[in-house]
Structure 1
Amino acid sequence: MIIEGVISVKAALENQKRDVLAVHVPDYKRSKDIRYLIHLCHVHDIPFRHVSRTEAAQIASSPSHGGVFAEVGPRKYDDQLNLKHDVLILEGIEDPYNLGMAMRTALAANFQTVISRQRDYHESEAIVLKASAGASERLTWIMVDHFESILSDLKAADYHLVSAVRSDASIAYDQYKYPKRVCLCIGGERRGLSRAILDASDGFVHIPYDKEVRIALSAVSATAVLTFEMVRQRKK
Protein backbone atom coordinates (compact mmCIF):
# COMPACT_ATOMS: atom_id res chain seq x y z
CA MET A 1 0.00 0.00 0.00
CA ILE A 2 1.19 3.53 -0.80
CA ILE A 3 0.38 6.48 1.44
CA GLU A 4 1.28 9.98 0.34
CA GLY A 5 1.86 13.44 1.74
CA VAL A 6 4.04 14.69 4.59
CA ILE A 7 1.29 14.50 7.22
CA SER A 8 0.30 10.91 6.46
CA VAL A 9 3.87 9.62 6.19
CA LYS A 10 4.96 11.47 9.33
CA ALA A 11 2.01 10.00 11.27
CA ALA A 12 2.91 6.47 10.15
CA LEU A 13 6.58 6.94 11.10
CA GLU A 14 5.91 8.60 14.46
CA ASN A 15 3.23 6.26 15.75
CA GLN A 16 4.49 2.88 14.48
CA LYS A 17 0.98 1.43 14.10
CA ARG A 18 1.99 -0.25 10.84
CA ASP A 19 5.12 -1.54 9.15
CA VAL A 20 6.77 1.15 7.02
CA LEU A 21 8.78 -0.61 4.34
CA ALA A 22 10.28 2.36 2.48
CA VAL A 23 9.94 6.12 2.23
CA HIS A 24 10.31 8.29 -0.87
CA VAL A 25 11.14 11.98 -0.54
CA PRO A 26 11.53 14.57 -3.32
CA ASP A 27 14.93 15.42 -4.73
CA TYR A 28 13.52 18.74 -5.93
CA LYS A 29 12.45 20.09 -2.56
CA ARG A 30 14.22 20.87 0.72
CA SER A 31 12.31 21.67 3.88
CA LYS A 32 12.26 21.13 7.64
CA ASP A 33 9.52 18.51 7.17
CA ILE A 34 11.58 16.52 4.66
CA ARG A 35 14.61 16.59 6.95
CA TYR A 36 12.45 15.39 9.83
CA LEU A 37 11.09 12.47 7.78
CA ILE A 38 14.64 11.44 6.88
CA HIS A 39 15.57 11.67 10.57
CA LEU A 40 12.67 9.36 11.47
CA CYS A 41 13.79 6.90 8.81
CA HIS A 42 17.23 6.79 10.41
CA VAL A 43 15.73 6.35 13.89
CA HIS A 44 13.55 3.42 12.82
CA ASP A 45 16.04 1.96 10.34
CA ILE A 46 13.71 2.42 7.37
CA PRO A 47 15.18 2.76 3.86
CA PHE A 48 14.45 5.97 1.97
CA ARG A 49 15.23 7.28 -1.47
CA HIS A 50 14.93 10.55 -3.34
CA VAL A 51 12.53 10.72 -6.27
CA SER A 52 12.34 13.18 -9.14
CA ARG A 53 9.29 15.25 -9.95
CA THR A 54 8.54 12.87 -12.84
CA GLU A 55 8.79 9.79 -10.61
CA ALA A 56 6.58 11.42 -7.99
CA ALA A 57 3.89 12.13 -10.59
CA GLN A 58 3.96 8.48 -11.66
CA ILE A 59 3.55 7.21 -8.09
CA ALA A 60 0.91 9.70 -6.99
CA SER A 61 -2.83 9.09 -6.87
CA SER A 62 -3.64 12.75 -6.18
CA PRO A 63 -1.95 16.11 -6.83
CA SER A 64 -1.41 16.92 -3.15
CA HIS A 65 1.42 14.49 -2.42
CA GLY A 66 4.27 16.98 -2.12
CA GLY A 67 6.66 14.36 -3.48
CA VAL A 68 6.44 12.32 -0.27
CA PHE A 69 5.32 8.67 -0.25
CA ALA A 70 5.69 5.58 1.90
CA GLU A 71 5.24 1.92 1.18
CA VAL A 72 3.40 0.53 4.20
CA GLY A 73 1.65 -2.53 5.55
CA PRO A 74 -1.87 -2.59 7.00
CA ARG A 75 -2.60 -0.79 10.26
CA LYS A 76 -2.32 -2.87 13.40
CA TYR A 77 -5.48 -2.16 15.33
CA ASP A 78 -5.41 -1.74 19.09
CA ASP A 79 -6.91 -4.10 21.65
CA GLN A 80 -6.46 -2.14 24.89
CA LEU A 81 -8.59 0.82 25.94
CA ASN A 82 -6.87 4.08 26.81
CA LEU A 83 -8.66 4.84 30.09
CA LYS A 84 -7.06 8.24 30.70
CA HIS A 85 -9.26 10.19 28.28
CA ASP A 86 -12.74 10.32 26.82
CA VAL A 87 -13.76 7.60 24.37
CA LEU A 88 -15.69 7.93 21.12
CA ILE A 89 -17.79 5.15 19.62
CA LEU A 90 -18.50 5.62 15.91
CA GLU A 91 -21.05 3.14 14.59
CA GLY A 92 -22.13 2.83 10.98
CA ILE A 93 -19.83 5.50 9.52
CA GLU A 94 -18.67 3.55 6.49
CA ASP A 95 -17.40 6.29 4.19
CA PRO A 96 -13.61 6.54 4.75
CA TYR A 97 -13.55 10.31 4.25
CA ASN A 98 -16.23 10.84 6.90
CA LEU A 99 -14.60 8.37 9.28
CA GLY A 100 -11.26 10.12 8.90
CA MET A 101 -12.74 13.57 9.47
CA ALA A 102 -14.61 12.37 12.56
CA MET A 103 -11.35 10.99 13.96
CA ARG A 104 -9.56 14.25 13.20
CA THR A 105 -12.24 16.13 15.11
CA ALA A 106 -12.14 13.73 18.04
CA LEU A 107 -8.38 14.06 18.48
CA ALA A 108 -8.64 17.86 18.34
CA ALA A 109 -11.16 17.63 21.20
CA ASN A 110 -8.70 15.51 23.23
CA PHE A 111 -10.38 12.15 22.74
CA GLN A 112 -7.73 9.43 22.59
CA THR A 113 -9.73 6.28 21.78
CA VAL A 114 -12.13 5.51 18.95
CA ILE A 115 -14.14 2.30 18.82
CA SER A 116 -15.83 1.13 15.63
CA ARG A 117 -17.36 -2.05 14.29
CA GLN A 118 -15.04 -4.59 12.69
CA ARG A 119 -14.47 -3.90 9.00
CA ASP A 120 -11.75 -4.42 6.42
CA TYR A 121 -10.41 -0.94 5.64
CA HIS A 122 -7.37 -2.18 3.73
CA GLU A 123 -8.49 -0.69 0.42
CA SER A 124 -9.35 2.66 1.99
CA GLU A 125 -6.81 3.03 4.81
CA ALA A 126 -4.86 5.67 2.89
CA ILE A 127 -8.06 7.72 2.54
CA VAL A 128 -8.89 7.44 6.25
CA LEU A 129 -5.32 8.43 7.13
CA LYS A 130 -5.28 11.45 4.84
CA ALA A 131 -8.79 12.63 5.77
CA SER A 132 -7.92 12.36 9.45
CA ALA A 133 -4.70 14.39 9.00
CA GLY A 134 -2.83 11.56 10.69
CA ALA A 135 -5.26 11.21 13.62
CA SER A 136 -6.15 7.63 12.70
CA GLU A 137 -2.53 6.66 13.46
CA ARG A 138 -2.29 8.67 16.67
CA LEU A 139 -5.56 7.50 18.21
CA THR A 140 -6.11 4.20 19.94
CA TRP A 141 -8.45 2.59 17.38
CA ILE A 142 -10.27 -0.52 18.52
CA MET A 143 -12.50 -2.60 16.24
CA VAL A 144 -15.11 -4.97 17.63
CA ASP A 145 -17.50 -7.51 16.15
CA HIS A 146 -20.04 -6.79 18.88
CA PHE A 147 -20.20 -3.88 21.30
CA GLU A 148 -21.54 -5.65 24.40
CA SER A 149 -18.19 -6.73 25.85
CA ILE A 150 -16.38 -3.43 25.41
CA LEU A 151 -19.40 -1.52 26.73
CA SER A 152 -19.18 -3.64 29.88
CA ASP A 153 -15.46 -2.83 30.15
CA LEU A 154 -16.20 0.88 29.87
CA LYS A 155 -18.90 0.66 32.52
CA ALA A 156 -16.53 -1.20 34.82
CA ALA A 157 -14.03 1.63 34.36
CA ASP A 158 -16.68 4.18 35.46
CA TYR A 159 -17.30 5.64 32.02
CA HIS A 160 -20.61 7.44 31.53
CA LEU A 161 -22.12 6.43 28.17
CA VAL A 162 -23.80 9.29 26.32
CA SER A 163 -25.57 8.52 23.04
CA ALA A 164 -26.52 11.03 20.38
CA VAL A 165 -30.13 10.22 19.53
CA ARG A 166 -33.30 12.22 19.07
CA SER A 167 -35.95 10.80 21.39
CA ASP A 168 -38.34 11.77 24.19
CA ALA A 169 -35.60 10.87 26.67
CA SER A 170 -32.85 12.98 25.09
CA ILE A 171 -31.66 16.36 26.31
CA ALA A 172 -30.34 19.27 24.26
CA TYR A 173 -26.58 18.71 23.97
CA ASP A 174 -25.68 22.05 25.56
CA GLN A 175 -27.96 21.45 28.56
CA TYR A 176 -26.47 18.06 29.39
CA LYS A 177 -23.86 18.03 32.15
CA TYR A 178 -21.06 15.80 30.91
CA PRO A 179 -19.21 14.04 33.74
CA LYS A 180 -15.47 13.55 33.92
CA ARG A 181 -15.24 10.20 32.11
CA VAL A 182 -17.43 10.00 29.02
CA CYS A 183 -17.88 7.53 26.21
CA LEU A 184 -19.71 9.47 23.51
CA CYS A 185 -21.62 7.31 21.03
CA ILE A 186 -22.48 8.59 17.54
CA GLY A 187 -24.20 6.62 14.81
CA GLY A 188 -24.23 7.00 11.05
CA GLU A 189 -27.02 8.86 9.29
CA ARG A 190 -28.60 5.73 7.84
CA ARG A 191 -29.02 3.38 10.78
CA GLY A 192 -28.06 5.35 13.85
CA LEU A 193 -26.96 3.47 16.94
CA SER A 194 -27.61 -0.21 17.62
CA ARG A 195 -29.85 -1.47 20.40
CA ALA A 196 -26.84 -2.77 22.35
CA ILE A 197 -25.42 0.75 22.66
CA LEU A 198 -28.77 2.40 23.38
CA ASP A 199 -29.58 -0.10 26.12
CA ALA A 200 -26.20 0.47 27.79
CA SER A 201 -26.42 4.28 27.64
CA ASP A 202 -26.58 6.43 30.77
CA GLY A 203 -27.88 9.48 28.94
CA PHE A 204 -29.09 10.75 25.58
CA VAL A 205 -28.44 14.05 23.85
CA HIS A 206 -29.62 15.70 20.66
CA ILE A 207 -28.77 18.80 18.67
CA PRO A 208 -31.88 20.99 18.46
CA TYR A 209 -32.85 22.61 15.18
CA ASP A 210 -35.99 23.94 13.54
CA LYS A 211 -38.83 21.41 13.54
CA GLU A 212 -39.43 22.11 9.86
CA VAL A 213 -36.01 20.71 9.04
CA ARG A 214 -36.51 17.05 8.21
CA ILE A 215 -32.89 16.07 7.76
CA ALA A 216 -30.27 14.91 10.23
CA LEU A 217 -26.84 16.44 10.63
CA SER A 218 -24.00 14.34 9.30
CA ALA A 219 -22.13 12.19 11.79
CA VAL A 220 -19.03 14.32 11.24
CA SER A 221 -20.94 17.52 12.06
CA ALA A 222 -22.50 15.91 15.13
CA THR A 223 -19.07 14.75 16.29
CA ALA A 224 -17.74 18.30 16.06
CA VAL A 225 -20.70 19.86 17.88
CA LEU A 226 -20.82 17.33 20.72
CA THR A 227 -17.12 16.86 21.38
CA PHE A 228 -16.43 20.58 21.50
CA GLU A 229 -19.40 21.18 23.77
CA MET A 230 -17.65 18.85 26.19
CA VAL A 231 -14.46 20.88 25.75
CA ARG A 232 -16.40 24.11 26.40
CA GLN A 233 -18.03 22.84 29.58
CA ARG A 234 -14.78 21.61 31.03
CA LYS A 235 -13.09 24.95 30.51
CA LYS A 236 -15.56 26.66 32.85
Structure 2
Amino acid sequence: MNFIFGLHSVEALLKNNPEQIEIVYIDNHRQDKRVIQLVELLDQASIKYEYISKNILDKKAPGVNHQGIVAMVANKSSFLPQLSFKDFLKEKSVNESSIVIVLDGITDPHNLGAIIRTCDCFGVDAVIVPKDNSASVNATVAKTSAGAVNYVPVIVVNNLARTLEELKEHDYWIAGTTLAENSVELFDFTPDKKIVWVMGSEDKGIRRLVAENCDYLVSIPMEGNTQSLNVSVAAGVVLSYTKYIKNKN
Protein backbone atom coordinates (compact mmCIF):
# COMPACT_ATOMS: atom_id res chain seq x y z
CA MET A 1 0.00 0.00 0.00
CA ASN A 2 1.02 3.60 -0.59
CA PHE A 3 -0.05 6.91 0.86
CA ILE A 4 -0.87 10.33 -0.50
CA PHE A 5 -1.33 13.29 1.76
CA GLY A 6 -2.64 16.83 2.03
CA LEU A 7 -6.17 18.18 1.57
CA HIS A 8 -5.83 19.20 -2.09
CA SER A 9 -4.32 15.88 -3.16
CA VAL A 10 -6.84 13.74 -1.31
CA GLU A 11 -9.82 15.86 -2.43
CA ALA A 12 -8.72 15.68 -6.07
CA LEU A 13 -8.27 11.92 -5.87
CA LEU A 14 -11.64 11.57 -4.19
CA LYS A 15 -13.36 13.51 -6.97
CA ASN A 16 -11.58 11.74 -9.85
CA ASN A 17 -10.69 8.22 -8.73
CA PRO A 18 -12.50 7.46 -5.46
CA GLU A 19 -12.35 3.72 -6.11
CA GLN A 20 -8.58 3.85 -5.59
CA ILE A 21 -8.82 5.00 -1.97
CA GLU A 22 -8.69 2.27 0.66
CA ILE A 23 -9.09 4.49 3.72
CA VAL A 24 -8.47 8.09 4.77
CA TYR A 25 -6.82 8.90 8.08
CA ILE A 26 -7.70 12.25 9.68
CA ASP A 27 -6.00 14.09 12.52
CA ASN A 28 -8.42 13.77 15.45
CA HIS A 29 -7.75 17.40 16.39
CA ARG A 30 -8.96 18.73 13.02
CA GLN A 31 -12.62 19.73 13.12
CA ASP A 32 -12.53 22.69 10.73
CA LYS A 33 -14.83 23.37 7.79
CA ARG A 34 -12.50 21.85 5.17
CA VAL A 35 -12.29 18.56 7.05
CA ILE A 36 -16.04 18.48 7.62
CA GLN A 37 -16.58 18.93 3.87
CA LEU A 38 -14.05 16.18 3.15
CA VAL A 39 -15.83 13.80 5.52
CA GLU A 40 -19.14 14.55 3.79
CA LEU A 41 -17.58 13.59 0.45
CA LEU A 42 -16.16 10.41 1.96
CA ASP A 43 -19.58 9.49 3.32
CA GLN A 44 -21.19 10.11 -0.07
CA ALA A 45 -18.61 7.86 -1.74
CA SER A 46 -18.87 5.22 1.02
CA ILE A 47 -15.15 5.42 1.67
CA LYS A 48 -13.82 4.46 5.08
CA TYR A 49 -12.07 7.05 7.23
CA GLU A 50 -10.59 7.02 10.69
CA TYR A 51 -9.62 9.73 13.15
CA ILE A 52 -6.17 9.08 14.60
CA SER A 53 -3.49 11.01 16.45
CA LYS A 54 -1.04 13.32 14.72
CA ASN A 55 1.83 11.11 15.94
CA ILE A 56 0.47 8.13 14.03
CA LEU A 57 -0.14 10.29 10.94
CA ASP A 58 3.47 11.47 11.13
CA LYS A 59 4.61 7.84 11.01
CA LYS A 60 2.46 7.13 7.95
CA ALA A 61 3.79 10.20 6.13
CA PRO A 62 7.20 10.86 7.71
CA GLY A 63 8.90 14.18 7.11
CA VAL A 64 6.10 15.78 5.12
CA ASN A 65 3.42 18.38 5.74
CA HIS A 66 0.39 16.09 5.55
CA GLN A 67 -2.05 18.75 6.90
CA GLY A 68 -3.66 16.11 9.05
CA ILE A 69 -4.99 14.15 6.05
CA VAL A 70 -3.43 10.91 4.76
CA ALA A 71 -5.09 8.52 2.30
CA MET A 72 -4.01 4.93 1.73
CA VAL A 73 -4.24 3.97 -1.94
CA ALA A 74 -3.93 0.66 -3.75
CA ASN A 75 -0.73 1.49 -5.61
CA LYS A 76 1.56 4.46 -6.09
CA SER A 77 0.30 5.35 -9.58
CA SER A 78 -3.39 5.07 -8.81
CA PHE A 79 -3.88 8.83 -8.69
CA LEU A 80 -2.44 9.44 -12.15
CA PRO A 81 -4.41 9.98 -15.35
CA GLN A 82 -3.47 6.91 -17.40
CA LEU A 83 -2.33 7.94 -20.89
CA SER A 84 0.40 6.46 -23.05
CA PHE A 85 2.36 8.57 -25.51
CA LYS A 86 0.70 6.68 -28.37
CA ASP A 87 -2.75 7.45 -26.96
CA PHE A 88 -1.75 11.07 -26.41
CA LEU A 89 -0.84 11.47 -30.07
CA LYS A 90 -4.17 9.93 -31.03
CA GLU A 91 -6.40 11.83 -28.59
CA LYS A 92 -4.74 15.14 -27.70
CA SER A 93 -2.64 16.15 -30.69
CA VAL A 94 -5.79 17.02 -32.66
CA ASN A 95 -6.06 20.12 -30.47
CA GLU A 96 -4.82 22.92 -32.72
CA SER A 97 -3.84 25.03 -29.69
CA SER A 98 -2.15 22.19 -27.86
CA ILE A 99 0.62 22.91 -25.35
CA VAL A 100 2.99 20.23 -24.09
CA ILE A 101 5.82 20.41 -21.56
CA VAL A 102 8.84 18.11 -21.90
CA LEU A 103 11.14 17.90 -18.88
CA ASP A 104 14.76 16.86 -19.35
CA GLY A 105 16.58 15.88 -16.16
CA ILE A 106 14.16 17.25 -13.54
CA THR A 107 14.98 15.02 -10.58
CA ASP A 108 13.55 17.03 -7.68
CA PRO A 109 9.99 15.82 -6.94
CA HIS A 110 9.07 19.23 -5.52
CA ASN A 111 10.00 20.89 -8.81
CA LEU A 112 8.07 18.27 -10.77
CA GLY A 113 5.00 18.75 -8.59
CA ALA A 114 5.16 22.52 -8.89
CA ILE A 115 5.49 22.29 -12.68
CA ILE A 116 2.49 19.97 -12.92
CA ARG A 117 0.46 22.42 -10.86
CA THR A 118 1.48 25.26 -13.18
CA CYS A 119 0.62 23.15 -16.22
CA ASP A 120 -2.88 22.56 -14.87
CA CYS A 121 -3.34 26.31 -14.40
CA PHE A 122 -2.41 27.05 -18.02
CA GLY A 123 -4.21 24.18 -19.77
CA VAL A 124 -1.21 22.06 -20.74
CA ASP A 125 -2.26 18.80 -22.42
CA ALA A 126 0.54 16.64 -21.00
CA VAL A 127 3.87 16.60 -19.21
CA ILE A 128 6.43 14.27 -20.76
CA VAL A 129 9.41 12.95 -18.77
CA PRO A 130 12.14 10.41 -19.56
CA LYS A 131 12.15 7.00 -17.93
CA ASP A 132 15.66 7.63 -16.57
CA ASN A 133 17.14 10.69 -14.88
CA SER A 134 13.78 12.06 -13.80
CA ALA A 135 11.74 12.30 -10.65
CA SER A 136 8.87 9.82 -10.62
CA VAL A 137 5.37 10.83 -9.67
CA ASN A 138 4.98 9.93 -6.00
CA ALA A 139 3.16 11.22 -2.94
CA THR A 140 5.51 14.21 -2.64
CA VAL A 141 4.81 15.20 -6.25
CA ALA A 142 1.07 14.75 -5.71
CA LYS A 143 1.14 16.95 -2.61
CA THR A 144 3.31 19.66 -4.20
CA SER A 145 1.06 19.73 -7.25
CA ALA A 146 -1.94 20.47 -5.01
CA GLY A 147 -3.77 17.58 -6.63
CA ALA A 148 -3.00 18.62 -10.22
CA VAL A 149 -1.56 15.15 -10.93
CA ASN A 150 -5.18 14.03 -11.12
CA TYR A 151 -5.81 16.30 -14.10
CA VAL A 152 -2.56 16.59 -16.09
CA PRO A 153 -1.27 13.37 -17.68
CA VAL A 154 2.39 12.64 -16.94
CA ILE A 155 3.77 10.48 -19.75
CA VAL A 156 6.99 8.52 -19.29
CA VAL A 157 9.00 7.82 -22.45
CA ASN A 158 12.22 5.92 -23.14
CA ASN A 159 13.84 8.38 -25.54
CA LEU A 160 13.20 12.13 -25.43
CA ALA A 161 14.91 12.87 -28.76
CA ARG A 162 12.75 10.32 -30.58
CA THR A 163 9.67 11.60 -28.74
CA LEU A 164 10.33 15.13 -29.99
CA GLU A 165 10.67 13.79 -33.54
CA GLU A 166 7.27 12.11 -33.27
CA LEU A 167 5.72 15.30 -31.90
CA LYS A 168 7.06 17.17 -34.93
CA GLU A 169 5.45 14.55 -37.17
CA HIS A 170 2.16 15.55 -35.54
CA ASP A 171 2.68 19.24 -36.38
CA TYR A 172 4.13 20.41 -33.08
CA TRP A 173 6.92 22.97 -33.00
CA ILE A 174 9.58 22.47 -30.35
CA ALA A 175 10.99 25.33 -28.25
CA GLY A 176 13.82 24.62 -25.84
CA THR A 177 14.57 27.01 -22.98
CA THR A 178 18.28 27.70 -22.75
CA LEU A 179 20.76 30.56 -22.45
CA ALA A 180 22.64 29.58 -25.63
CA GLU A 181 24.21 32.32 -27.74
CA ASN A 182 21.73 31.72 -30.56
CA SER A 183 18.68 31.83 -28.28
CA VAL A 184 15.92 34.30 -29.04
CA GLU A 185 14.48 36.23 -26.10
CA LEU A 186 11.09 34.97 -24.94
CA PHE A 187 9.27 38.26 -25.47
CA ASP A 188 10.52 38.43 -29.06
CA PHE A 189 9.26 34.92 -29.72
CA THR A 190 5.80 34.05 -31.07
CA PRO A 191 4.79 30.52 -30.04
CA ASP A 192 3.22 28.37 -32.74
CA LYS A 193 -0.33 27.14 -32.29
CA LYS A 194 0.87 23.64 -31.37
CA ILE A 195 3.88 24.14 -29.14
CA VAL A 196 6.15 21.96 -27.05
CA TRP A 197 8.26 23.62 -24.38
CA VAL A 198 11.39 21.70 -23.38
CA MET A 199 12.82 22.57 -19.98
CA GLY A 200 16.00 21.24 -18.39
CA SER A 201 17.52 21.21 -14.94
CA GLU A 202 18.89 24.42 -13.46
CA ASP A 203 22.47 23.15 -13.30
CA LYS A 204 22.79 21.31 -16.64
CA GLY A 205 19.94 22.63 -18.77
CA ILE A 206 18.65 20.57 -21.66
CA ARG A 207 21.01 17.96 -23.10
CA ARG A 208 22.75 18.47 -26.44
CA LEU A 209 20.82 15.75 -28.30
CA VAL A 210 17.55 17.14 -26.99
CA ALA A 211 18.52 20.72 -27.92
CA GLU A 212 19.39 19.58 -31.44
CA ASN A 213 15.81 18.37 -31.85
CA CYS A 214 14.37 21.79 -30.97
CA ASP A 215 13.10 24.10 -33.70
CA TYR A 216 13.77 27.15 -31.53
CA LEU A 217 16.00 27.95 -28.57
CA VAL A 218 14.45 30.55 -26.28
CA SER A 219 15.80 32.39 -23.24
CA ILE A 220 13.95 34.29 -20.53
CA PRO A 221 15.39 37.83 -20.27
CA MET A 222 16.53 38.58 -16.73
CA GLU A 223 18.21 41.30 -14.73
CA GLY A 224 20.14 40.96 -11.50
CA ASN A 225 23.09 38.82 -10.54
CA THR A 226 21.88 35.22 -10.42
CA GLN A 227 20.65 34.97 -14.03
CA SER A 228 18.86 31.79 -13.07
CA LEU A 229 15.27 30.86 -12.27
CA ASN A 230 13.96 27.80 -10.52
CA VAL A 231 12.65 25.53 -13.29
CA SER A 232 9.10 25.59 -11.93
CA VAL A 233 9.15 29.40 -11.95
CA ALA A 234 10.56 29.39 -15.48
CA ALA A 235 7.73 27.07 -16.54
CA GLY A 236 5.23 29.57 -15.14
CA VAL A 237 6.83 32.40 -17.10
CA VAL A 238 6.86 30.65 -20.48
CA LEU A 239 3.37 29.16 -20.08
CA SER A 240 1.86 32.47 -19.00
CA TYR A 241 3.46 34.19 -21.99
CA THR A 242 2.32 31.41 -24.31
CA LYS A 243 -1.32 31.70 -23.21
CA TYR A 244 -1.14 35.49 -23.52
CA ILE A 245 0.08 35.28 -27.10
CA LYS A 246 -2.44 32.58 -28.04
CA ASN A 247 -5.33 34.57 -26.58
CA LYS A 248 -4.11 37.77 -28.22
CA ASN A 249 -3.98 36.13 -31.63
TM-score category of the 2 structures, normalised to the smaller one = 0.7 to 0.9
Superposed, 1:93-112 pairs within 5 Å as: 93-112=106-125
**Which residue is equivalent to 1:208?**
221
Partner residue of 1:9? 10
User: What's the offset of the Cα at 1:33?
Assistant: 3.8
Aligned length: 234
Closer/same/farther in 2, CA of residues 125 and 201 from structure 1, 3 Å limit: same
Change (3 A) 1:205 1:61: same
Matches within 5 A, 1:25-104: 25-30=26-31, 33-38=34-39, 40-41=41-42, 46-52=47-53, 55-56=56-57, 59-61=60-62, 64-72=65-73, 73-75=75-77, 78-79=83-84, 80-81=87-88, 82-83=92-93, 84=95, 85-104=98-117
Is the counterpart of residue 179 in structure 1 residue 153 in structure 2? no
- Partner residue in 1 for 2:142: 129
- Shift of the alpha carbon at 1:47? 2.9
Could you tell me how far apart the structure 2 residues matched to 1:213 and 1:17 are? 48
Partner Cα distance (1:197, 1:17) in 2: 38
| 1:166 counterpart (175, 179, 187) | 179
Cα distance in 1 for partners of 2:37, 2:170 equals 39
Q: CA RMSD in A?
A: 2.9
Identity among equivalent pairs (%): 25
Name the TM-score, length of structure 2 as normaliser.
0.80
Note closer, same or farther for the CA distance 1:176–1:138 as it changes in structure 2 (3 Å cut): same
Could you tell me which residue of structure 2 aligns to residue 230 of structure 1? 242
Q: Given the alignment, which residue of 212, 231, 234 partners 1:219?
A: 231
Structure 1 window deviating more from structure 2 (79-88 vs 15-24): it is 15-24
What residue is the counterpart of 1:151 in the other structure?
Answer: 164
TM superposition score normalised by structure 1: 0.83
**1:38 CA drift (Å):** 4.0
SS at match of 1:235: helix
Give the AA of the match of 2:35: I
Name the amino acid aligned to 1:78: L
